[in-house]
């Protein structure tokens, strides 16, 4: 693996570290009334990182299989048609993320984190599943590993490292909160307010862009090639 590839992967991981599940939810753990729930937060981050590492390895394996065994199947009209439908559906779905209506999804997440006694495993898995389709940097990182032709052990180690970098900012903020105490609550609250207010809008834009790209690619292959 080249230094350029490693730098690109690190940059993508840092972009992923600012999502709702990897940064905003951890802030809610720290800002909940009472003492910071460090144990729950550590468990949440561990499960979330493990989930993405396992899913990433599965996607890498499937992508390698597609590249080596069935490289031409994606151009079949039926596959392109399904891609077109999926792209249009994602583009239409993106309009439900309307910041003017209020961030209902974000509000539900906050209530679950701050008031529910549910296990962190379920919370982390739900967070991972809900955001997986919109984590374009992670999918891009998997694509880079496939293109680089790395071995399975190298891919596994790299994806684990990627996921550790992805949760590193949340872990660093947690350490700072424990070291400084409540004096950090003001800045954290302001960061949380900005990220929470924009979370639905950002997700909507990402979903819309993915849908548009998929639909445009399929339409070009079906009607203009």
The 3-state secondary structure of the chain reads CCHHHHHHHHHHHHHHCCCHHHHHHHHHHHHCCCCCCHHHHHHHHHHHHHHHHHHHHHHHHHHHHHHHHCCCHHHCHHHHHHHHHHHHHHHHHHHHCCHHHCCHHHHHHHHHHHHCCCCHHHHHHHHHHHHHCCCHHHHHHHHHHHHHCCCHHHHHHHHHHHHHHHHHHHHHHHHHHHHHHHHHHHHHHHHHHHHHHHHHHHHHHHHHHHHHHHHHHHHHHHHCC
Q: What is the pLDDT of residue 131?
A: 73
Q: Which of 202, 163, 205 is nearest to 9 (CA)?
A: 163
List pLDDT tens digits, range 22-49: 887 888 777 766 666 778 888 889 999 9
pLDDT surpassing 60 at residue 68: no
Q: What is the pLDDT of residue 159?
A: 95
Q: What is the pLDDT of residue 114?
A: 56
Q: What is the pLDDT of residue 59?
A: 87
Please compute the mean of the pLDDT values over residues 196-223 and round it to a whole number: 70
Q: What is the pLDDT of residue 77?
A: 79
Q: What is the pLDDT of residue 102?
A: 45
Look at 50-54, 68-72, 91-95, 199-203 and tell me which has the smallest mean pLDDT: 68-72
Name the CA dihedral angle for 183, 184, 189, 192, rounded to a multiple of 10 degrees.
-170
List pLDDT tens digits, range 141-178: 888 888 888 899 999 999 999 999 999 999 998 888 77
Q: What is the pLDDT of residue 123?
A: 73
pLDDT interval class at 138 (50, 70, 90):
confident
Q: What is the mean pLDDT of the chain?
A: 76
List pLDDT tens digits, range 83-127: 788 778 877 877 766 544 445 555 666 666 655 555 677 777 777
Q: What is the pLDDT of residue 104?
A: 56
Please compute the mean of the pLDDT values over residues 58-66 and round it to a whole number: 83
């Amino acid at each position: 693996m080249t230094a350029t590839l490693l730098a690109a992967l690190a940059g993508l991981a840092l972009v992923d570290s600012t999502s709702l599940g990897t940064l905003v939810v951890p802030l809610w753990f720290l800002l909940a009334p009472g003492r910071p729930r460090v144990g729950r937060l550590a468990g949440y981050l561990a499960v979330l990182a493990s989930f993405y590492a396992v899913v990433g390895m599965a996607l890498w394996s499937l992508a390698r299989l597609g590249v080596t065994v069935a490289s031409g199947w994606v151009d079949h009209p039926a596959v392109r048609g399904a891609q077109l439908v999926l792209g249009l559906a994602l583009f239409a779905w993106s309009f439900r993320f309307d910041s003017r209506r209020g961030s209902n999804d974000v509000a539900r997440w906050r209530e679950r984190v701050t008031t529910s006694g549910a296990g962190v495993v379920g919370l982390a898995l739900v967070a991972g599943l809900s955001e997986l389709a919109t984590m374009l940097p992670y999918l891009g990182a998997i694509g880079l590993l496939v293109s680089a032709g790395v071995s399975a052990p190298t891919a596994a180690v790299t994806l684990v490292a990627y996921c550790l970098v992805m949760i590193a900012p949340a872990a660093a903020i947690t350490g700072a909160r424990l070291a400084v105490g409540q004096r950090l609550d003001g800045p954290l609250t302001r960061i949380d307010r900005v990220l929470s207010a924009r979370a639905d809008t950002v997700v909507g834009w990402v979903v819309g862009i993915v849908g548009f790209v998929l639909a445009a690619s399929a339409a070009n292959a079906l009607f203009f090639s």
